[in-house]
Amino acid sequence: MDWDLKEELRDCLVAAAPYGGPIALLRNPWRKEKAASVRPVLEIYSASGMPLASLLWKSGPVVSLGWSAEEELLCVQEDGAVLVYGLHGDFRRHFSMGNEVLQNRVLDARIFHTEFGSGVAILTGAHRFTLSANVGDLKLRRMPEVPGLQSAPSCWTTLCQDRVAHILLAVGPDLYLLDHATCSAVTPPGLAPGVSSFLQMAVSFTYRHLALFTDTGYIWMGTASLKEKLCEFNCNIRAPPKQMVWCSRPRSKERAVVVAWERLMMVVGDAPESIQFVLDEDSYLVPELDGVRIFSRSTHEFLHEVPVASEEIFKIASMAPGALLLEAQKEYEKESQKADEYLREIQELGQLTQAVQQCIEAAGHEHRPDMQKSLLRAASFGKCFLDRFPPDSFVHMCQDLRVLNAVRDYHIGIPLTYSQYKQLTIQVLLDRLVLRRLYPLAIQICEYLRLPEVQGVSRILAHWACYKARMWDETQGHLDEDVARAINQKLGDTPGVSYSDIAARAYGCGRTELAIKLLEYEPRSGEQVPLLLKMKRSKLALSKAIESGDTDLVFTVLLHLKNELNRGDFFMTLRNQPMALSLYRQFCKHQELETLKDLYNQDDNHQELGSFHIQASYAPGERIEGRVAALQTAADAFYKAKNEFAAKATEDQMRLLRLQRRLEDELGGQFLDLSLHDTVTTLILSGHNKRAEQLARDFRIPDKRLWWLKLTALADLEDWEELEKFSKSKKSPIGYLPFVEICMKQHNKYEAKKYASRVGPEQKVKALLLVGDVAQAADAAIEHRNEAELSLVLSHCTGATDGATADKIQRARAQAQKK
Amino acid sequence: MAFPHRPDAPELPDFSMLKRLARDQLIYLLEQLPGKKDLFIEADLMSPLDRIANVSILKQHEVDKLYKVENKPALSSNEQLCFLVRPRIKNMRYIANLVNADKLAGRTRKYKVIFSPQKFYACEMVLEEEGIYGDVSCDEWAFSLLPLDVDLLSMELPEFFRDYFLEGDQRWTNTVAQALHLLSTLYGSFLNCYGVGRCARMSYELWRKLEEEEDSETKGRKPEIGHIFLLDRDMDFVTALCSQVVYEGLVDDTFRIKCGSVDFGPEVTSSDKSLKVLLNTEDKVFNEIRNEHFSNVFGFLSQKARNLQAQYDRRRGMDIKQMKNFVSQELKGLKQEHRLLSLHIGACESIMKKKTKQDFQELIKTEHALLEGFNIRESTNYIEEHIDRQVSPIESLRLMCLLSITENGLIPKDYRSLKTQYLQSYGPEHLLTFSNLRRAGLLTEQAPGDTLTAVESRVSKLVTDKAAGKITDAFSSLAKRSNFRAISKKLNLIPRVDGEYDLKVPRDMAYVFSGAYVPLSCRIIEQVLERRSWQGLDEVVRLLNCSEFAFTDMTKEDKTSSESLRLILVVFLGGCTFSEISALRFLGKEKGYRFIFLTTAITNSARLMEAMSEVKV
C-alpha cells in the first residue's frame, strides 16, 4: 500500500467500496471523549493507497461511512444527516433521514447495495430502524417496532429479498425479521442449542446466504431466507469477531465465511477443518463478488476460492486437458518432442477444445501478466490443432486482460478480478475511470476496444469538457472564450457530444458567460434555448429560437418572457422580433383580443388598430350603437394612420348603418348589413323608388352603377313599363345592349326587340342576334362590312329558315372579296 | 392527351406506402385508448381521413360513433372520447367547453386529443389555461402527406397560405421540413436541390438540419428522386389567379375538387342524386382528358363514345363462346368506361353551359389583355362593370388582383374608385379584405418612392444583426413590387404566335392558358432545371425580389444513373393549381422528366381570394 497512515486502522471509521473501489478513512475522535477539540481528517485513497482527497471534517460526529454504487461517499452523522462527497472529496449534497432520527440520534448505520442503487439503514437511539432503499430517490421508511426491545440489538444486518429491503436483528437468543409492515420472529433451521446471544452476522454479496456467529463460538451458515441450513462450524472462540464476511464465488458450490479477530483470521466452510491465518497487522475485510479483499497498513490482498479452471491446470500432477496443454506448450518452446506426446494425449481423448477453453479461462483469473501470457500462449498453441475453433473467446479474453492489467496498475489502483469486471461491465468501468479523471486511459480503452463513438470516446470527451468547464476558471487566467475554444478544439463535431450538457454544467458552477460561449457550438437550437432561459438570457433565447425556425420553441420563450418582463418591456422585445410578433399576434387573435389591441396601441400601428375595431364592429350580438361606436374608433384610427380612404369608407359605413336602421324602423324588412348596392336594390324592389334615388344621391352612387342596378331590379320585378320609362329618362351610360340581354334573360322577346333598335352600331349585330332576328343581323353585318360579324351571324344561321340569309351573307362576302 | 411518356422516362416511386404508414399510425393511436370510443373529427380532416381509413376500419378499432367538430354541443354518451383535429386554438376551446361541461355535470370520461399533423405548444397552452390539460391526453398523428394521385402529394393544409403569406406565421415550415424528411427517409435523399422564396429556403434549411441530426440511418438508401425544387406561392400569384381552361383545372374551378374527389350534382349525373367521384389515374377516361385544353375535350369524348359503341357492337355476329368471353371479360370494363364517359360528358355539358356564354369569353379576353399588358383602360372598365353588376365578389376581387400584379399596382385613382365600387357592391366589411390583400402584396397602389411604412423604417433603423437583417427583408417583401411585366419579357412568358395556336398539338406550356401565357412558376422551374442552377437568371431573381432566397445545392458527384436524375420533386409552398401540374406534366413529357408534385394544398384563384377575404361572422 502506498499510503502513509498516521493512525491505526482500528482508530478509524473505514469504508472501502466494492469492485476494487476507493477507501475512505475518518479518524474517529468521537469514540474517545478526550480529543474532541481536534478536527478529524477525512481521507480518501485509491485501492492502491494513492491519496485522492483529504479534508478537514467540519460537520458533526459521524457514525458510519459507506460508498454508494456511484462511488459517492455517504457519511451518516449522529443527527441523521447524510453528507455526500465525491471521489475527490468534493461535497455533492446532503439529505436527512427524518425527524425521528434527528431526535433520537443515530446509534448505528449501514450502507447497503441493492439492484435499485445504494441504501442507508439506520438504528436510532430509540432502537427503531429507518431505512431508505435508494439514496438517489430518497424515500424514508420507518420499520415497525420490535416488541419488547429494550436495548440495542447485539447485531443486525440488511437483507434484500424479492426486491425489498428487510432488516434482520438479533436480540439475545432471538432473531427478528423486519419488513415494511411486520416484525416476525424467525429461527434458523438446525441451529445448535445453547445459544444465548448472536454476536455477529454476515450476508453474502448477493444476499443469498447468511452466516450467524453465536456466543458459543458456533457459526451457522444457511440461506438468507432462513429456510435451509447449509453447514455449521464450531470454532470454539467465544470472543466476538471483529468482522465476518462471506467468501464465495458466484455459481460455486463451496461456501466459506471469513471471520476475523484482532490477530486471527479464519476461513470456515463445509469442512471439519478451518484454515487459519495470523494477522500481523490491523486488517480490514472488504467483501467482494468473488472473494474478500483484505487490506492493512502495508498490504492489500485478495482471498478467494481458486477457480475450477485454475485448479485443474495447476493442481499438482494434474492430468486435466488444460494442464497437459500448458505442459505441451512449454515443451514445444523448449523444442522438445514431448510437446507432441502431450498434445497427442489430449487429442486422443478428444479434449483439445476443452483444453483450450480451460487455458483461456484460467488466464482470466490470473493476476500476473506472465502467467496470463503463458496460459494464453498455450491456448493459442492448442488452437492451431483445432479446426474451426471460434476465435471470439480468445480474442475477447486478450482484450479484457489488457484492460484489466491497465486498470490494476498501481497508479490507477482498481484491482478488479475478471468476474467482477464482467459483472461491472465495461461501461461502468469507463464511468469509474472518468470519475477518477483518468480521461486519457478511458479514451485509450475505448479506442482499443473499438467502442462506438457515442458510447465511448464522445461520452468521455463530454465528461472531460464538463470537468474543464468546472475547473478552469478566470482566477487561473483562463478566459471564458479560451476555455470554450479549447473545449471545441478537442471535441469538434464528435457525434454524441452535447454542448448544451457541458454548458449546463458550466452554468451549474456559476459560469454563465462560459456557458453562453459553449452554447454557441451547440448545433441544435432546441437544446440551446431551455438553458438560455434558465440562465435568464431570455432575449438571446428568443433570437436563438427564431433562428431555429421552430415556432413552438419561439412560443415557449415568448411565454417565458411574458411572465418575466413587464408588459411594456415585453412588447418592446416583440417589436424587434417580427417573426415572434406575428406568432404572438396570431395567438392573441384567437385567445386574447385585448392584448392584441394593446400590442397595436404600443406600436402606434393605427392601420391595424382600425382594422381591429372594424372587426369588433362585426362581433355577433353587438347592438347598433356599439357598432357605430366601434366604427367611429376605427375611423379615428385610420385618420391617424393617414389612410383617408379607409376612414372615409368607415364613415360611409356608419352613415349607412344608421340609415339602414331607420329604414328598418320605418319600412320594416331587413336592411341591416346589406351593401349599399343591395340596399338600393331592396328599396326599388319594394317600390320605394323615391327613397332609392335619395339614397343614391346621398352616397353619390355613380350613374353607371345606378343604371345597372335599376335595370336589374326592374327586370326582376318585370315592371316593363317602368323600365321603358327609365330607359327614356336620359341616354343610357351603359348602352342598350344590357337592356336587350336582360329582357331576353326574362324571356321577353317583345320588350327586347324594343331596345334592340336603340343599340349602338358596334353592338347592333349582337343585339339582333340575341333577339333572334338573324335576317336583320345579316343586313347590319353586311352594312358594316365586318368579317368577324359576318361569320358570327353565319354561325347562327340554322336549318332551312335561315337558308336565304346564309346565301346572302355568302354573296356579300364574295362581293367584298372581289373588291 | 394521356401524355404517353417517353420510353426513357423514369418510373414513379410507390407512394401508397405513405398511406399505409398513416393508417398504421392512426390505428396504433386509436388502440392506445382501448375499448369503445366516440371519435370527433374536424371537418377539414374528414376527406383526408376517408382516403386513409374508411369507416369500417375505424369501427374495427372500436370507434363507436363519429361526430363532426362544430360549434354545437355534442350528444355523445360514450365514456371515452377521442378528438382528431388540426392544431388550432378554436378546436382547443371546443374541447375545453366539452370537458368543462362534463366536469360541471360531475361526469368523468376519458379524453384523448390526436393532433394532425403535429401539435403546437400554443394549443397545449390553451388547454392549460382552460384548466383541462390534466384531463386529456395528447398525441400526434404525423399524417402530413396524402397521395392524391400517383404523382401528386398534398399536405392538405389550405391554411398554410393565409398563415404564412398573410399573417407571417411560420409554424408550418417545420411541418414541411418533416414531410420532406419523411420522403427522403423512404425514397432516398435528394441529390440536387433548388428553391426560390423565403419559406422555401427556410423549409429547406430546417430539412437539412433534420437530415444532419440522424444522417447515419438514411445514408444507405439509394436516392430515387434526383432533383427537388421548392417554390413559394408568392413568387407567382399571376398563374394562380388566371381562369383555368385545362379540363382538370376547369373541373376544379367549376365544381371544386376536394381531396382528389369531386361531387357531381344532379345536373351532371342526369339523375336526381349527386355522385362523389374520385378523379385520378385510375379513372381511365379522366386520365386521358385531364391535361387537355377544354376545347379538345368534347371532341375526344365523342370519339371515345363512338369507339365504345363499336366495341359494344362487336357483340353482333358473335357465337355463343365468344359471347361468353365477351360478357365475362370485357363487358364489365366497358360498362365501367361507359359510366365514366357519361359522367364526364355530363360534366362537360355543365361546364359549357356556364362557360361558353359570352361573359366567359370576354373574361378570358380581359385576362389575356392583362397578361399581355395592352388596353389597360378597357380592362379596368371591364372590371368596373363586373363590380357594378355584382357578378361575383370573388371573381371581381380576382380580376382586381390580376390587374394590380400585372401592372405593379393600380394607379391611385383606379385604386380608390375600384375599391369604393367594390365596397358599395359587396359590402363594407371588405375593407378588411383590402387591407389583407395589400399586406400580401396582391392588391396595391402604385406609389412613387416611399413605400416603406412607418413600422418598417423604424425596424430597419433598429436592427443591425444578421437575424434581424432577414426580417427587414420580410418587411420589404410586404411592399415589394411584382415586376411582372419585366419578368414576363425576360422569360418570354407571352409566346409570339403566328396564326392560330394549335391547342390540339401544343408546342409549349402556354397551352394550359390557351396559348396566351406560359405559367411563370413552371417557366422558372424549366429554366433552372435546364441550367442546373440559377446561373444567368440573376436578373429574374432580382425582379422576383428574392436574391437572398434563391438557392441551389448540388451533390458533388453525379454518380447515380440518369434514371433517378429525371425524377423531379416540385414543392409548392402555399398551394399549386391543376394548370401548373398539367403544364409540368407536359414539360416532363417533352423532356423525358417525370415530375412529382408536393403541395401544401391544391389551390385555384377562388381559394386564394377566399383565403384573403374577411367574411362576417
pLDDT per residue over B304-363, tens digit each?
Answer: 888 888 888 877 778 888 888 888 888 888 888 888 888 898 888 888 887 766 678 888
> How remote is the C-alpha of A38 from its chain's centroid?
47
Nearest to B577 by CA among B262, B165, B239, B238: B239
Average pLDDT, chain B: 84
Query: Rounded CA gap, A455 and B490, in Å?
Result: 57
Return the percentage of chain A with pLDDT > 70, whole number.
95
Chain A residues touching residue B129 (CB < 8 angstroms): 591
Separation between Cα atoms, residue B593 and residue B586, nearest integer Å: 10
Residues A636-672, buried b or exposed e (16+ Cβ, 10 A)? bbbbebebebbbebbbbbbebbebbbebeeeeeeebe
pLDDT of A532 over the 70 cut = yes
Asked whether the beta carbons of residue A579 and residue B170 sit closer than 8 angstroms, the reply is yes
- CA nearest A620 in B: which residue? B617
Residue of B nearest to A547 (CA): B467
Chain B residues 133-172 with CB within 8 Å of chain A: 163, 167-171
Q: How confident is the model at residue B456 (pLDDT cuts 50, 70, 90)?
A: very low
* Residue numbers of A between 152 and 171 with CB closer than 8 Å to B: none
Across the range A120-146, mean pLDDT stands at 86
Dihedral sign from CA coordinates of A445, A450, A456, A460: positive
Residues B438-472 as b/e (b if ≥16 CB within 10 A, e otherwise) read bbbbbbbbeeeeebbeebbeebbeebeeeebebbb
Mutation site for B-interface testing, chosen from A556, A557, A579 by largest number of B Cβ within 10 Å = A579
Q: Tell me the C-alpha distance between B378 and B365, whole Å.
A: 11
Residue of chain A nearest B415, judged by CA positions: A645
B4-15 average pLDDT score? 76
Chain B contact set for A674 (CB, 8 A): 427
Query: A87-91, A296-300, A535-539, B403-407: which has the minimum mean pLDDT?
Result: A535-539
**Span A356-380, average pLDDT:** 90
Lowest mean pLDDT among A31-35, B71-75, B282-286, B579-583: A31-35
pLDDT of residue B148: 92
Q: Specify the pLDDT at position A126.
A: 86
**What is d(CA A617, CA A536) in angstroms, rounded to the nearest whole number?**
41
- Across the range B500-509, mean pLDDT stands at 83
Is the pLDDT reported for residue B97 higher than 80? yes
Nearest residue to B236 (alpha-carbon basis) of B576, B588, B597, B607: B576
What local confidence, expressed as pLDDT, does residue B230 receive? 93
Nearest CA in chain B to A651: B428
- Find, in chain B, the residue whose alpha carbon is nearest to that of A587: B122
Reply yes or no on whether the pLDDT at A53 is more than 90. no
Q: Supply the pLDDT for residue B357.
A: 63
B583: contact with A, CB 8 A cutoff: no
Residues 342..361 of B with a Cβ closer than 8 Å to A: which?
none
**Mean pLDDT over residues B454-470, rounded?**
43
Average pLDDT in the B415-434 region? 90
Confidence of residue B145 (pLDDT cuts 50, 70, 90): very high
* The pLDDT value given to residue B87: 92
Q: Decide if A523 and B171 are in contact by the 8 Å CB cutoff.
A: no
Closest by alpha carbon to A84, among A47, A103, A59? A59
pLDDT at B500 (0 to 100): 75
Does residue A88 carry a pLDDT above 50? yes
The answer to whether the CB atoms of B167 and A586 lie below 8 A apart is yes
pLDDT surpassing 90 at residue B574: yes
* pLDDT over 90 at B577, yes or no: yes
| Structural contact between residues B473 and B198, judged by C-beta atoms closer than 8 angstroms | yes
Could you tell me if A652 lies within 8 Å of chain B, comparing CB atoms?
yes
Overall average pLDDT of the A432-437 stretch: 85
Q: What digits encode the pLDDT tens for the residues B190-242?
A: 888 899 988 999 899 889 888 877 755 545 567 778 889 999 998 999 999 99
Range picked from A518-527, A738-747, B117-126 for highest mean pLDDT: B117-126
Among the listed residues A641, A705, A634, A645, the one whose alpha carbon sits nearest the alpha carbon of residue B412: A645
pLDDT at residue A133 is higher than 80:
yes
- Which residues in chain A have Cβ-Cβ distances shorter than 8 Å to B429? 614, 618
Average pLDDT over residues A112-132: 86
**A65-75 per-position pLDDT tens digit:** 899 888 889 99
Task: Identify the closest residue of chain A to B198 by CA–CA distance.
Answer: A549
Q: How many CB pairs under 8 A join A and B?
A: 137
Backbone torsions φ then ψ of A6, nearest 5 degrees: -85, -25
- Mean pLDDT (whole number) for A322-330: 88
As a whole-number percent, the residues of chain B with pLDDT over 70 amount to 89
Q: Which of B125, B181, B219, B389 to mutate to test the interface with A (most CBs of A within 10 A)?
A: B389
Of B88, B424, B432, the CB nearest to A701: B424
Nearest CA in chain B to A612: B432
Q: Is the pLDDT of residue A182 over 80?
A: yes
Question: For the segment A540-596, what is each residue's pLDDT rounded down to a tens digit?
Answer: 888 888 888 788 888 888 888 888 888 888 888 888 888 888 888 888 888 888 888
- Residues from chain A that touch B390, judged by Cβ atoms under 8 A, are 677
% of chain A at pLDDT higher than 90: 4
Q: Are A233 and A269 in contact (CB under 8 A)?
A: yes
pLDDT of B4 reads 62
- Average pLDDT, stretch A815-819? 71
What is the structure's pLDDT at B115? 93
Among partner residues A523, A546, A591, which is closest to B467 by beta-carbon distance? Answer: A546
H-helix or E-strand spanning residue B220: none
> Mean pLDDT in chain A?
84
Identity (one letter) of the amino acid at A477?
Answer: G
Q: Are B74 and B45 in contact (CB under 8 A)?
A: no
pLDDT exceeds cutoff 60 at A349: yes
Give residue B22's pLDDT: 92
The answer on pLDDT for A336 being more than 90 is no
- The answer to whether residue A124 scores a pLDDT higher than 70 is yes
Residue B403 has pLDDT above 90, yes or no: yes
In this predicted model, which residue has the larger pLDDT, A9 or A402? Answer: A402
Residue A504: its pLDDT value, please? 77
> What number is the average pLDDT over the span A30-34?
54
Q: Is the pLDDT of residue A503 over 80?
A: no
Q: Do A551 and B169 touch (CB under 8 A)?
A: yes
Which of B90, B174, B467 lies closest to A551 in CB terms? B174
B362-396 confidence digits (pLDDT tens): 889 999 999 998 888 999 999 998 898 888 889 99
Query: Would you call B97 an interface residue with chain A, using a CB distance cutoff of 8 Å?
Result: no
Which pLDDT score is estimated for B247? 92
**Cell 479474453 -> residue:** A397
3-class DSSP state for residue B66?
Answer: strand
Using a pLDDT cut of 90, give the percent of chain B over it: 29
Under an 8 A CB cutoff, do A550 and B174 touch?
Answer: yes
> Using an 8 Å Cβ cutoff, are A131 and A83 in contact?
no
Q: What is the mean pLDDT of residues A93-117?
A: 86
A 538-577: CB under 8 A from B:
543, 546-547, 549-552, 555-556, 559, 575-577
Structural contact between residues A538 and A532, judged by C-beta atoms closer than 8 angstroms: yes
Q: Is the pLDDT of residue A755 over 90?
A: no
